[in-house]
Homo-oligomer: A and B are copies of this chain.
Amino acid sequence: MNNVLVVGSVALDTLETPHGRADNALGGSATHFALAASRFAPVRLVGVVGKDFPREHIEMLKAQKIDVTGLEIADGKTFRWHGRFVGDMSRAETVSVELNVLATFQPKVPASFASTPFVLLGNASPDVQLAVLNQLKGPKFVMLDTMNLWISTQRAALLTLLPRVDAVCINFEEALQLAETTSGAKAVRKILDLGAKMLIMKRGEHGATLATRDGQFTSPSFPTDRVVDPTGAGDSFAGGTLGYLAQAGGEKDAIRKAIIYGSVMGSFAVEEFGTRRIQTVTREEIETRARAILDMLSV
């Protein structure tokens, strides 16, 4: 069984959407990713929380086959994010951010995790991501996430990382920003020209595109009409993709199916606040949606 390692943020979120509000919900990109990936493969998590982090969340993660040996409990408070989605919920407004213990976090990959074959370098500064990459021993497939902040402030460092990983997984707007263009098609070519071996470009409810020098694949999103909270949809997409790829042993022809499973996990993630829906989704429910997407792709 291939393991998946994720290094990233664990948070307590306050979430407001047109459908209600959740206070101190379990969040963070590593959390959403890990829960989605754990549906397919055993997951190892490296992150940091504060002394205020509820014990029940740790128990829940453990119960979901997630190894939290690498979850440091530091002096101080857990990273907190307060976000608000209005209107069509296409963008989050950040009401407040408290980095807390995340501000000075230097991830240490436990020796027992160093040889994990499938790895997500979760959203962090390129320097931190590079430091994590240098702790890995012969990974089979490394996926890189990033965000608008690093694209604009740490561009050079980010560009040196691109050729060193197997895939960069970002959303459409981030891809445009990274490629300095307003066209998705141009962004794809430019990012491959910048040295990325594979680009996974998330288009929200319009689907996702996988691109390499050999060709492209596009999966539609699963058309759920129950969007309660978009938080974590992109992380759950990445978790479903990398989790499925690990389950399939990383074979090259599994990557297109992996994108479909990513889309499925993203569609479940939005149906409840925080991680609730991903915590309860069954493999049977996942397969039903994967079959629906396969049908949407068949000519």
Contacts and interface: CB of A to CB of B under 8 A. Distances in A.
Interface in A247-262: 256-257, 260
By secondary structure, the A interface counts as mixed
Contacts of A223: 184-185, 188, 216
A229 to B, nearest CB: 13
A203 interface: yes
A205 interface: yes
Interface in A6-57: none
A227 B184 CA distance: 11
Given A207-B218, A227-B183, A299 B294 contact: yes
A189 B225 contact: yes
Interface string A258-273: 0010000000000000
B215 A296 contact: yes
A182 B297 contact: no
B205 A183 contact: yes
A87 B41 CA distance: 43
B88 A183 contact: yes
A297 B295 contact: no
Interface in A204-262: 205-207, 209, 215-218, 220, 223-225, 227, 256-257, 260
Contacts of A218: 207, 218, 220, 296-297
Given A206-B206, A218-B220, A297 B299 contact: yes
Interface of A: 87-89, 182-186, 188-189, 203, 205-207, 209, 215-218, 220, 223-225, 227, 256-257, 260, 294-299
Closest 4 CB pairs of A and B: A88-B182, A185-B223, A206-B206, A218-B220
